[in-house]
Amino acid sequence: MNPSIPHSDSGEPLYDTEAIQALDAAHYLHPFTDFKALAEVGSRIIVRGEGVYVWDSRGQKILDGMSGLWNVNLGYRRVELADAAYRQMLQLPFYNSFFQTSNIPAAKLAATIASVAPDHMRRVFYCNSGSEANDTIVRMARRYWDLKDQPQRKIIISRHNAYHGSTMAGASLSGMSGMHAQGGLPIPGIVHIGQPYHFEDGAGLTSEAFGLKAAGWLEEKILEVGPENVAAFIGEPVQGAGGVIIPPVTYWPEIQRICDAYGILLISDEVICGFGRLGSWFGCQHFGTRPDFIAFAKGVTSGYFPLGGVIIGDRVADVLIESGGEFNHGFTYSGHPVGCALALENIRILREEGIVERVRLETAPYLARRFHELADHPLVAITEVLGMVAGLVLAPGHRERFDPALEVGMICRRHCFENGVIMRAVGDRMIIAPPLVITPAQIDEMLALIRRCLDLTHAELKVRGQI
C-alpha cells in the first residue's frame, strides 16, 4: 500500500488510475496535444497539491518546477485563497458588469491592481484569460486610433516565437508557425519580427550589441509597412512559452525609444511576468518601459480561478473615456466577483508576506547561483536566469547543437517526470518557473533532481550512440 494516496477502509487505493485514464482517453481532447498519441500512452492524473509539490494518482510526489502552467505563484493549498472564494460564492456568486452594474470585489481589485501597476496606468478591463486579454487589446488599440482620426493604423507588430494565446487574435499575435498553419492565421494586420535570442542569432556580437540589433528589427519593420499604418508593438518582457528567452539589457529601452519616435503604442504581455515572477510586480517595471497596455492573467489569482485582464495607460484610457460612445466588447464573466475576491486575497498575501521583494532580494539570486552551477554539466551549453524563470540549452558541446529530430528535450522531460520534478522542454531548451514561495532548501532539492535528470539524459544519449 502506498501511504501517500488515500485508501478505502478495505485498503483499496481511492483512485482507479486506469479507469480515469480510460475516460480521459475516450472523451477528453486535451489542449496542444496529439490526441491519438496521448490516448495510446494515457494521461498522468494529478490529484492533489501542497506548497511546491503535486501528487499523481499513483502516489508519486513531484516538485512542480513550472508552478502549474506558470501560474500557481503562491503554491498549492493556500487555504486563505479557497476561503476567499468560498465566502464570495456565498455572498454573491455572480453578477454581471454590463448594464451599469458592478460588484465590490471587481471595483476593489481594479484599484488594487492600479496601485501596484506603473503610475500612469489606472484603469482595468477584465476578461477570463490571457488570450482574451490580448484580443481585447487588439480591439482597444484599433479603437483608440479610430478615435484619434487615424483609422489606417491597424498593424500590430509582434515577434517570432512569441506566445500570446490561442484565440484567433492571440494565436495570430503569437509567432509560432505550427499555430499559424492551422485555422488560416494570422488574421490581417498582424506581422512579426525576430526575437531577441542572443544564443541563437547573436553569434559574434556582445549581448548589448545584439540587443540593439534585435530592437532595430522593429524600426525596419515600421519603415517597411509605413509608420502611419502601425497601431502597436506587443512583446512579453521575457518570452515564456517560447523557452524563457531573456532579452539583452539594451533591448527594451531601445524598443521604447522606437515606439516613442513613431508614436506607436507599446503592449507588455505580462501574463507570465506579472504579479512578481521577475521580482517586480510587472516585468515592464524591471525593464523600465512605459507600456500603454499590460495584459495579465495566470498569477493574478495564482491560478486558483480563471481571471485575466488589461491594464490601460492614461493616454489611451483618457481618449476612450472622453470620446464617449460604447466600446462594443466584453464577456459574461468580465469582473467575476469570485475571481476578483480571490485575486484580492492573492495580492494581499503577496504584499503582506513581502513575496515580490523576497523573490527579488533573496530567492531569485539564490536560484540564479544554484542554476548557473549546471553550466559545468557536459550536456549544458548555457544557463540563463531572471527572477523565478530559468532556462538552459541542452547541447553536446559549448556551441554545437543537437539534431532537432533527436528530441533531446523530450527525453530530458521524461526523466524529470519519472524522477519527481517538473521541467518544460521547448525544443532543446529546458525551462523552469517555480512557485514564488519556493524556499532555498526546496531550490536545492529541485537543482539536485534536475542534475540527476541531466545525468540520466546524458547516459541515455550515450547508450543510443548519440553523443
Report how far Cα 132 is from the mean position of its chain's Cα atoms.
14
Among 73, 88, 97, 129, binds ligand PXG (CB under 6 A): 129
**How many residues are listed for the chain in this entry?**
467
323 contacts 140 by C-beta, under 8 angstroms: no
Binding to ligand PXG in span 318-377, by CB under 6 A: none
Q: Cα–Cα distance between 418 and 400 in angstroms, integer? A: 28
Residue with nearest beta carbon to ligand PXG = 130
Closest separation in Å from C-beta 11 to ligand PXG: 39
Binding mask 246-285 for ligand PXG (x = CB under 6 A): -----------------------x-xx-------------
177 contacts 162 by C-beta, under 8 angstroms: no
Instruction: State the cell numbers at 219.
Output: 524600426
Instruction: Report the 10 Å Cβ neighbour count for 198.
Output: 24
Closest separation in Å from C-beta 270 to ligand PXG: 7
Q: For cell 484565440, what's the residue?
A: 167
Using CB under 6 A as the binding criterion, the count of chain residues that bind ligand PXG stands at 18
Among 65, 165, 247, 279, binds ligand PXG (CB under 6 A): 165
Binding mask 19-58 for ligand PXG (x = CB under 6 A): ----------------------------------------
If DSSP codes are grouped into helix, strand and coil, which group holds residue 431? Answer: strand
Q: For cell 500570446, what's the residue?
A: 164
Q: Which is nearer to ligand PXG, 422 or 461 (CB)?
A: 422
DSSP 305: S
Binding to ligand PXG in span 144-163, by CB under 6 A: 163
* Residues contacting residue 448 through CB under 8 Å, at least 6 positions apart: none
Amino acid identity for residue 49 in this structure = G
Among 65, 130, 186, 283, binds ligand PXG (CB under 6 A): 130
Q: Cα–Cα distance between 115 and 69 in angstroms, integer? A: 26
Closest separation in Å from C-beta 326 to ligand PXG: 25
Binding mask 204-243 for ligand PXG (x = CB under 6 A): --------------------------------x---xx--
∠ CA 440-443-447, rounded to 5°? 145
Closest separation in Å from C-beta 170 to ligand PXG: 6
Q: Which is nearer to ligand PXG, 163 or 210 (CB)?
A: 163
* Residues contacting residue 246 through CB under 8 Å, at least 6 positions apart: 238, 384, 385, 386, 389, 391
356 contacts 274 by C-beta, under 8 angstroms: no
Q: Which is nearer to ligand PXG, 246 or 272 (CB)?
A: 272
Q: Which is nearer to ligand PXG, 436 or 461 (CB)?
A: 436
DSSP 367-402: HHHHHHGGGGSTTEEEEEEETTEEEEEE-SSSS---
Q: Which is nearer to ligand PXG, 5 or 394 (CB)?
A: 394
If DSSP codes are grouped into helix, strand and coil, which group holds residue 122? Answer: strand
Closest separation in Å from C-beta 298 to ligand PXG: 6
Instruction: State the cell numbers at 48.
Output: 492533489
Strands across the sheet containing 429-432: 380-386, 389-394, 429-432, 424-426
Q: Which is nearer to ligand PXG, 131 or 442 (CB)?
A: 131
Among 131, 158, 256, 302, binds ligand PXG (CB under 6 A): 131
Closest separation in Å from C-beta 358 to ligand PXG: 23
Binding mask 413-452 for ligand PXG (x = CB under 6 A): -----------x----------------------------
Q: Cα–Cα distance between 237 and 286 in angstroms, integer? A: 9
68 is a contact residue toward ligand PXG (CB under 6 A) = no
132 contacts 167 by C-beta, under 8 angstroms: yes
Binding mask 82-121 for ligand PXG (x = CB under 6 A): ----------------------------------------
Q: Which is nearer to ligand PXG, 53 or 163 (CB)?
A: 163
Among 123, 154, 164, 198, binds ligand PXG (CB under 6 A): 164
Instruction: State the cell numbers at 73.
Output: 505563484
Closest separation in Å from C-beta 70 to ligand PXG: 6
Binding residues for ligand PXG (CB under 6 A):
69, 129-131, 134, 163-165, 170, 236, 240-241, 269, 271-272, 297, 308, 424
